[in-house]
Amino acid sequence: MWRRMLLGCLVVILATAATVTTGVLLEVKSFTDALKLSPQLKLGNELASANAGGAQTILLIGSDKRAAGAIDSSSPAHSDTMLLVRLDPSQPDTTMLSIPRDLKVTIDPSQAAPVTEKINAAYAIGGAKLTVKTIKAVMGIQINHVVDINFEGFKALVNYLGCVYVQVDRRYLNLNYGLPAGQTYAEIDIQPGYQKLCGQPALDYVRYRHTDTDLVRNARQQDFLRQIKNQLGASGLISKRHGLEKIFGRYSSTDIRSSDSVLQLLELLVQSATHPIHQVIFQAALGPSYVTATPAQIDQTVHEFLNGGVADGHIQLPAASGPKHKRTLAPVPLSSATSSELAQAHALATAMPIPVYFPVRRVTTLAAPSDDLRSYFLPDRTHHEHYAYVDVVGEGGLGQYYDLEGTDWIDPPILDNPNQTIELGGRRYELFFEGQRIRIVAWRQGPAVYWLINTLQNILTNHQMLAIAEDARVVR
């Protein structure tokens, strides 16, 4: 009887395994067939072989084509975005590294003399192959696969995923009305605050670069991709896999063609599905024309990218003190909001049905712009509109802004899965880390939720973030 039972169990296990295997192979075939609809990237021997089960580095290229009438419309396409993604099952994080498009490098084409140029020129000179060759020469990183997707593909992807909720850190505005041809740039008009971005506005947002820096732009792009992963998760991406196949097949080019390559990537993606994304900042200096990096800076950046899997940060609070036994932080130097900014906050509060918390003390400089305070309606996933407001505070550095947001939408996606909850100054905070830096400090009061979000490059320290949040007060 026991032999028959064991034999029956074995038959069931083998039948289940065969069904799952057949299903996986059919999915892989479907995906490889979709990829074959687009031209294959011819990269010669520039790519490194991928070991089954081992880490892989993938280069994502977003290639641009300028609009007719733009100041650089006659120039060839460039690699508008170069993003390295490291999938390593042995690390706790998936690391992402954006390469500054204005990075000063030596480009060495096979059939011409070497030239000193911005790294994105490699794509215009020799396509994806020369781009890979240049990245390898400059950074010493071995790349396993390349995916080159154009702007229409990016818009189609965002729309198909149902658009993406992001914290727009400030007002993005550039209008070409009245300007002659040759002096225009991409138009954009996006208000600040937490909101859903779709299609063209999403593309405009991630590409914007006129009044900040190449490094801020890279951080904006990485944050956008991180929000896609956080909001959809592995199950969401799997449920939309057939549509994603068609989009990649229509709008992208890649070296990936074989079922073995797809299976290896699938295994890595499954193993890394629960890993948070760690944004690696490219260590470099900004110049008037170029972004420059010393060999030591490049070594530091590469080391963090390849070995940057670190546990999320954790705040160790001091012991409770005082008559009410409240935990408080050591003093942090902060500046007071101006009387004009406070007057704006009071005016807004009279029209809001929820309490308006305002950062009465903050990190800023005299050169920083005044606060941009805005109220608006925020639609949730079911299209129900919620009251919301945002206060944009300029830190003072180029492109450096942080926000205090409030809304009666109590469970927005941005506040899913906090890393730590603390009691500070009599208030309960939810903390969200990106590596060792606090990205978001959130708290709740009655029917509303509030959060303070760091700059795109997370330049505010953990104590600064907590001090600003602790000093936020309700204005009336």
pLDDT of 150 strictly over 50? yes
pLDDT digits (tens, 9 = 90+) for 178-187: 777 666 677 8
pLDDT digits (tens, 9 = 90+) for 361-403: 999 999 899 999 999 999 999 999 999 999 999 999 999 999 9
Mean predicted confidence (pLDDT) in 59-66: 75
Partners of 335 in the beta sheet?
A: 362
Partners of 389 in the beta sheet?
A: 375, 406
In angstroms, rounded to a whole number, what is the distance separating the alpha carbons of residues 380 and 412? 8
Q: Which residue would you say has higher pLDDT here, 270 or 254?
A: 254
Mean pLDDT computed over every residue of the chain: 84
In angstroms, rounded to a whole number, what is the distance separating the alpha carbons of residues 399 and 389? 21
Contact between 380 and 386 (Cβ < 8 Å): yes
Is 405 strand, coil or helix?
A: strand
Integer-rounded Cα Rg, in Å, for the chain is 25
Q: Residue 157, exposed/middle/buried by CB under 10 A (0-12, 13-18, 19+)? A: buried
The phi-psi region of residue 181 (left if phi > 0; otherwise alpha if psi is between -120 and 50; otherwise beta) is: beta
pTM: 0.83
Q: Residue 327, exposed/middle/buried by CB under 10 A (0-12, 13-18, 19+)? A: middle
Is 108 strand, coil or helix?
A: coil
Residue 242 token pair: 């057939």
CA 134 to each of CA 144, 299, 352: distance values in angstroms, whole numbers, following the listed order: 15, 16, 54
CA 424 to each of CA 128, 173, 235, 324, 443: distance values in angstroms, whole numbers, following the listed order: 51, 38, 36, 12, 11
Question: Cβ–Cβ contacts within 10 Å for residue 301, how many?
Answer: 21
In angstroms, rounded to a whole number, what is the distance separating the alpha carbons of residues 462 and 470? 12
20-34, 370-384, 420-434, range with the lowest pLDDT: 20-34
Q: Residue 380, exposed/middle/buried by CB under 10 A (0-12, 13-18, 19+)? A: middle
| Residue at token pair 């064991």 | 6
* Segment 175-182 long-range contacts (CB within 8 Å, at least 24 positions apart): 181/69, 182/69, 182/71
Contact between 375 and 351 (Cβ < 8 Å): yes
CA 28 to each of CA 34, 105, 220, 269, 307: distance values in angstroms, whole numbers, following the listed order: 10, 38, 32, 13, 30
In angstroms, rounded to a whole number, what is the distance separating the alpha carbons of residues 15 and 21? 10
Residue 122 token pair: 């490699």
- Characterize the bridge pairing of strands 277-280 and 94-98: parallel
pLDDT for the residue numbered 203: 92
pLDDT digits (tens, 9 = 90+) for 195-243: 999 999 999 999 888 788 888 988 998 899 889 888 877 667 677 777 8
Partners of 444 in the beta sheet?
A: 449
Query: What kind and span of H or E run contains 235?
Result: helix 214-239
pLDDT for the residue numbered 324: 54
| DSSP string of 340-397, one letter each residue | HHHHHHHHHHTT-SS-EEE-SEE---TTSPPPEEEEEEEE-TTS-EEEEEEEEEE-SS
| Residue at token pair 């042995």 | 90
